[in-house]
Amino acid sequence: MTDQSSNQMWGGRFAAGPDAIMEAINASIGFDKRMAAQDIAGSRAHAAMLAATGVITDNDAEAIREGLLTVLSEIEGGTFQFSTALEDIHMNVEARLKEIIGEPAGRLHTGRSRNDQVATDFKLWVRDQLDAAESGLLALIKALLSQAEAGADWVMPGFTHLQTAQPVTWGHHMMAYVEMFGRDLSRVRDARARMNESPLGAAALAGTSFPIDREMTAKALGFDRPAANSLDAVSDRDFALEFLSVASISAVHLSRFAEELVIWSSAQFRFVTLSDRFSTGSSIMPQKKNPDAAELIRAKVGRIFGANTALMMVMKGLPLAYSKDMQEDKEQVFDAADNWMLALAAMEGMVKDMTGNRESLAAAAGSGFSTATDLADWLVRVLKVPFRDAHHVTGTLVAMAESRGCDLPDLSLADMQGVHEGITEDIFTVLGVENSVNSRMSYGGTAPAQVRAQIVRWQEFLAG
């Protein structure tokens, strides 16, 4: 077979043959260069430890430290030349370090492997993202608290099956999302605490014979402790999986709220007005204002879920310790992190800028026989009617009101007594939506007093 026909077999961008294919499939520098700062931080800590334990000289350690700072400045300044031939960020940094300081660069890798090096870099990167997620969640929670405080006593319909169920308050609805994102915050903090063990010094898989001090490098990099098993340290990607799991659950909450904002901002609901900063116009219909930011948040959930599933598939069949499959651990996490952080920021912006339309909310709160449950509860509480019987009486009155095209408060006392003779004028004190929400004083209920108590609880939590 001629060289020409061989090249045609490999095709297009791999016309150079198998060597080009192997370089392309083996290289990760195209994406793992995002970990440059973490890689250099790990190397600086490792070099300082090697000097402290007498493995390398102080002079070599100082040259390495200065050289790494130069490399970092080149990367941050955009002048660093990345090479796919050098495969990954670790080899790119080390090669450039050798160009800058010469022989001492070769001593940097003493007592470690790329296996523990990449695990350390990746953990540091994921930890930074968890910190960013915490900041984003806190900002979003504060924005929701502001909305809740402003509308603690605004009435609106509460829904089940997207059908009017019972009146609630705007503040109560906002606080429901505070609770959701609060659980996300708790998961972020839990995940960070659990993953904060240093793989550095585990070397390839079995540790090292050099007299290294893993406690020293762990402390220098902000870890709580070194990972206790070298095999596990280099093969563990639970921290990345947990990051994606936390991100996925949080993305569900973001998507649910985004869906409500899409519905609420529609002409059919008019519950909220989104700011122009988070909406777009139609290219052909001048009357439209599209909730694009909310729709894009809703869509980005698919990418985050996909990343979670992809990494689980990568890891599910790998024997200990390291396999090259694990090079596929980063792109999904990078993409999911980008989209989660963007979705959190966009949702915070929408919540801060949106305006609840109090009149539309109140008008909708009284529709759909939303106080029917209050009527049934009154029958049970005042007349001691068994709840199942009260449910039947209420259903009959709802059917009557529906047939007349009116709401329950519009029925006369005589109409009601025709269904149950024990009903008195007092029934009308529970049928208004304001009366309904004010009566829901059970802990966690929708009464404005309860909503304000929950707002205070969260404000104290955030302050403390």
* Mean pLDDT of the 165-181 span: 96
Q: What percent of the chain has pLDDT over 70?
A: 94
B/e letters for 65-85, b = 16+ CB within 10 Å, e = fewer, are: bebbeebbeebeeeebebeee
Question: Which of these is catalytic: 161, 209, 283, 412?
Answer: 161
pLDDT of residue 13: 54
Confidence band, pLDDT 50/70/90 cuts, at residue 287: low
pLDDT of residue 18: 65
Confidence band, pLDDT 50/70/90 cuts, at residue 17: low
Give me the helices (H) in 354-371, please. Answer: 358-365
Confidence band, pLDDT 50/70/90 cuts, at residue 7: very low
pLDDT of 355 strictly over 70: yes
pLDDT of 286 strictly over 70: no
d(CA 256, CA 303): 16
Which range has the worst mean pLDDT, 370-379, 419-428, 437-446?
A: 370-379
**Which residues does 362 contact at the CB level (< 8 Å), separation at least 6?**
154, 155, 156, 433
Q: Is residue 161 among the annotated active site residues?
A: yes
d(CA 177, CA 455): 12
Whether residue 447 is preceded by a cis peptide bond, meaning omega within 30 degrees of 0, is: no
* Mean pLDDT of the 91-96 span: 94
pLDDT of residue 56: 98
* Mean pLDDT of the 19-39 span: 84
Q: Is residue 360 among the annotated active site residues?
A: no
Confidence band, pLDDT 50/70/90 cuts, at residue 276: confident
Q: How many CB atoms lie within 10 A of CB 461?
A: 11
> How many residues are present in the chain?
464
pLDDT of 8 strictly over 60: no
d(CA 49, CA 237): 25
pLDDT of residue 323: 92
Cβ burial of 140 (10 Å; 0-12, 13-18, 19+) is: buried
Confidence band, pLDDT 50/70/90 cuts, at residue 187: very high
Asked whether 265 and 291 are in contact (CB, 8 A), the reply is yes
169 bridge partner residues? 155
pLDDT of 225 strictly over 60: yes
Q: For residue 405, what is the DSSP state?
A: T
316 φ, ψ to 5°?
A: -65, -25
Confidence band, pLDDT 50/70/90 cuts, at residue 432: confident
pLDDT of 194 strictly over 80: yes
Q: Long-range contact list for 280-289, CB < 8 A, 24+ apart?
A: 289/265
Which range has the worst mean pLDDT, 161-175, 275-289, 408-422?
A: 275-289
pLDDT of 222 strictly over 60: yes
| Average pLDDT in the chain | 91
Confidence band, pLDDT 50/70/90 cuts, at residue 284: low
Question: Which of these is catalytic: 6, 83, 266, 282?
Answer: 282
pLDDT of residue 374: 84
pLDDT of residue 15: 56
Give me the helices (H) in 106-237, please. Answer: 114-150, 170-195, 214-220, 230-235
